[in-house]
Structure 1
Amino acid sequence: MSPLLRGLLKIHRWIAIVFSILFLLVIVSGMVLAFKPVVDAQTTERIAVPTLIKALNAADPAGKAGAVAIAGDASVFSLSGRGRGPSGNFDMQSGTKLSEAGFDLFSFTRRLHENLLIGADWLVTATTIAMVFLIVSGLFFGWRTLRNNATGWHLGLGWLSLPLLALTPVTGLLMAFHLGMPQLPDYTPASRPLPLAEAITIASQHADLSGLSLARNFRAGAVMLTTRTDSGNAQYIVSGSGEFRSMSGPGWVRSLHEGTWAGAWSGILTLISTFPLLGLMGTGLWTWWRRTQQRRARRPAVAGQAHA
């Protein structure tokens, strides 16, 4: 191996070690989120928009919540606070807050996956860049005869599963830099978004929101709404001044990353694509640990020969 490749291999190993915990958090949370299209495909419940608006006004009378997510069975919605806004799970009929037993696994996991629960979007982006770098740099080490050891498994898994392996990290990186994403419609910027209940009211006058799954604060004082339809997800924007705009959809990059392009089947494919990532992480760390132990074991022997 040339000196250049040896240097690249050293960088490859150290990046894998430094980011290992973050890799684990992002990969495992992604595995959980891959089940969401599978669960959604089994859910046919629709919401009554007037009922949701009434419940939202009861749960968030000051209009400070930053996002509302609708449960698959349309019986509960969860609010994420903006500043001092309310957060938690609320009854769809009355808007009363439910006990913590109503923990929303997908909502929690999405926040972990996107910002590690601490608003660290930049750190998740850095982790994704590191993951893509490891995949690309691994190609430079060449194909070797497969051997029945951790190094052989690591190399073989990286080459044989390459298309699946690259699916979620590459699309995640494209999303982070807004590449391949649908072009946003024009709307008038505002200093702050409308209350969620008001934005949903405006959107319901222009589109069918019976499949609404998420409404959240968006860029330039807008609210983005995502609804489930028979042909996939549809997205709309309500500006801070009340303008309604329809979007062309989530785009192929997001659909591939989230596994929503073919319902449950694409969700299963996204789930399968995370297994090679875990396998590479495990075999890579195991190989590094074994080599470290062997190197430490050789040091006393070398020292003994030097004194002999």
Structure 2
Amino acid sequence: MRSLIPFLTQAHRWLALLTAPVLLLIILSGLVLAFKPVVEAGARAPVDVASLSRALEQADPGHKAGVMSLSSDGTRFVLSSRGTGAMGEFDAQSGARVGAAGFDLFGLARNLHTNLLVGAGWLVTLTTSVTVILFLSGFLLGWRRLRNTLSGWHAGLGWLAWPLAALTPVTGLMMAFHLGTASLPYYEAGRPLPLVKVIEIASQQVDLSKLAQVRTFRGGAVMLTVQDEPRAALYLVTSAGELLRSGGPGWVRMLHEGTWAGAFSGLFTFVSTLPLLGLLLTGLLTWWRRHRLLNAAL
């Protein structure tokens, strides 16, 4: 094993350097997303489904909207559409447009976190895989004496904070490969129904008084998110008009996103991600200091 330590050290160092820019973006966007459960914590105002349906029909007569998100007080909703569909913020009683949709910080952070804004989800998955490998190789390098130096802090964080630091990359990798996540019910693919029709179908079978979002989903289905505290209940309405209950986000996703206990779990996810950021920064600074000293000696 000792003969492998130089190879593991080099592999650990270069894998970290090659993936550092992408990993930094993933970590920083993840820190922003950790506050989403904190901001959205608290009870939602009951929704008048009949009034909401009329307002949605008024706001989107062409039925082109792909996402409708309700405010927590139930007075407004935001529509997102592709092409020439309705977009902006609307009154939940009249359907009148009250303004453009505000800047969605969490939406931007999620897009950056999952595909780097350019559809590079594969690169996010690859970087997450490398991060898990870095944890494993760090353990194989063995326990080192802790010192008050950059490398000492790096080693100390890796050994003492690994349960927290490894939580988000491990659960993120599991999500990427659909391990431990809730399975979706089977349904035939088709064209998605209009959002207002989906709400009408679902309201006849389930309580939508805590409806939070309606959005088009894969295979032509439409997903409804009902904020059943502390977790969300998920439903699918297929293109054939069939209502299906999803298994929920699953514990792996809830651990990764910090949604298992509302505001508390969001703060926990934020704190657990800080050691990962510390490992990245101390590792980069250690390499830079060593690189600069080597250049000065030449």
Query: TM-score if structure 2 supplies the norm length?
Result: 0.91
Once the two structures are superposed, the pairs formed by residues 99-138 of structure 1 within 5 Å of their partners are: 99-100=99-100, 102-138=102-138
Q: Is the 8 A contact 2:51 2:92 kept in 1?
A: yes
Match of 2:92 in 1: 92
CA distance in 1, matches of 2:120, 2:60: 26
Partner SS for 1:229: coil
CA apart distance, 1:186: 2.6
CA distance in 2, matches of 1:101, 1:218: 21
Structure 2 gaps of 5+ residues are: none
Q: Is the 8 A contact 1:215 1:226 kept in 2?
A: yes
Q: Is the 8 A contact 2:44 2:74 kept in 1?
A: no
Q: Specify the code of the residue in structure 2 equivalent to 1:258.
A: E
Q: Is the 8 A contact 1:211 1:227 kept in 2?
A: yes
Match of 1:80 in 2: 80
Match of 2:268 in 1: 269
CA distance in 2, matches of 1:84, 1:16: 44
Q: List per-residue Cα deviations over 1:253-280 (Å, max 9, x = no partner).
A: 1111111112222111111111101111
Indicate how the Cα distance of structure 1 residues 214 and 18 shifts in structure 2: closer, same or farther if over 3 A, else same. farther
Query: TM-score if structure 1 supplies the norm length?
Result: 0.88
Whether 1:226 aligns to 2:225 is: yes
Mean Cα deviation higher: 161-170 or 223-232 = 223-232
Indicate how the Cα distance of structure 1 residues 99 and 136 shifts in structure 2: closer, same or farther if over 3 A, else same. farther
Once the two structures are superposed, the pairs formed by residues 138-157 of structure 1 within 5 Å of their partners are: 138-157=138-157
Moved beyond 6 Å, runs of 4+: none
CA distance in 2, matches of 1:165, 1:224: 32
CA apart distance, 1:43: 4.1
Q: Is the 8 A contact 1:236 1:246 kept in 2?
A: yes
CA distance in 1, matches of 2:75, 2:132: 40
CA apart distance, 1:74: 2.8
Match of 1:17 in 2: 17
CA apart distance, 1:247: 1.8
Match of 2:174 in 1: 174
Match of 1:34 in 2: 34
Match of 1:214 in 2: 213
Q: Specify the code of the residue in structure 2 equivalent to 1:121.
A: G
Q: Is the 8 A contact 2:230 2:260 kept in 1?
A: no
CA distance in 1, matches of 2:98, 2:282: 44
CA distance in 2, matches of 1:76, 1:114: 28
Aligned residues: 298
CA distance in 1, matches of 2:133, 2:57: 47
CA distance in 2, matches of 1:46, 1:120: 38
Match of 2:237 in 1: 238
Q: Specify the code of the residue in structure 2 equivalent to 1:286.
A: L
Q: Is the 8 A contact 1:89 1:103 kept in 2?
A: no
CA distance in 2, matches of 1:117, 1:42: 30
Q: Is the 8 A contact 1:221 1:240 kept in 2?
A: yes
Q: Specify the code of the residue in structure 1 equivalent to 2:56.
A: L
Q: CA RMSD in A?
A: 2.2
Q: Specify the code of the residue in structure 1 equivalent to 2:203.
A: S
CA distance in 1, matches of 2:244, 2:277: 40
Indicate how the Cα distance of structure 1 residues 38 and 166 shifts in structure 2: closer, same or farther if over 3 A, else same. same
CA apart distance, 1:121: 2.3
CA apart distance, 1:68: 2.3
CA distance in 2, matches of 1:234, 1:253: 16
Partner SS for 2:227: strand
CA distance in 1, matches of 2:204, 2:296: 73
CA distance in 2, matches of 1:167, 1:63: 41
CA distance in 1, matches of 2:15, 2:79: 37
Indicate how the Cα distance of structure 1 residues 137 and 80 shifts in structure 2: closer, same or farther if over 3 A, else same. farther
Mean Cα deviation higher: 225-234 or 48-57 = 48-57
Mean Cα deviation higher: 264-273 or 116-125 = 116-125
Match of 1:62 in 2: 62
Once the two structures are superposed, the pairs formed by residues 165-204 of structure 1 within 5 Å of their partners are: 165-190=165-190, 192-204=191-203
Match of 1:282 in 2: 281
Once the two structures are superposed, the pairs formed by residues 43-58 of structure 1 within 5 Å of their partners are: 43-58=43-58
CA distance in 1, matches of 2:24, 2:123: 14
Q: Specify the code of the residue in structure 1 equivalent to 2:171.
A: T
Q: List per-residue Cα deviations over 1:70-114 (Å, max 9, x = no partner).
A: 233333333333455444444433444454572232223222222
Structure 1 gaps of 5+ residues are: 300-308
Mean Cα deviation higher: 277-286 or 38-47 = 38-47
Q: Specify the code of the residue in structure 2 equivalent to 1:172.
A: G
Match of 1:305 in 2: none
Partner SS for 2:192: coil
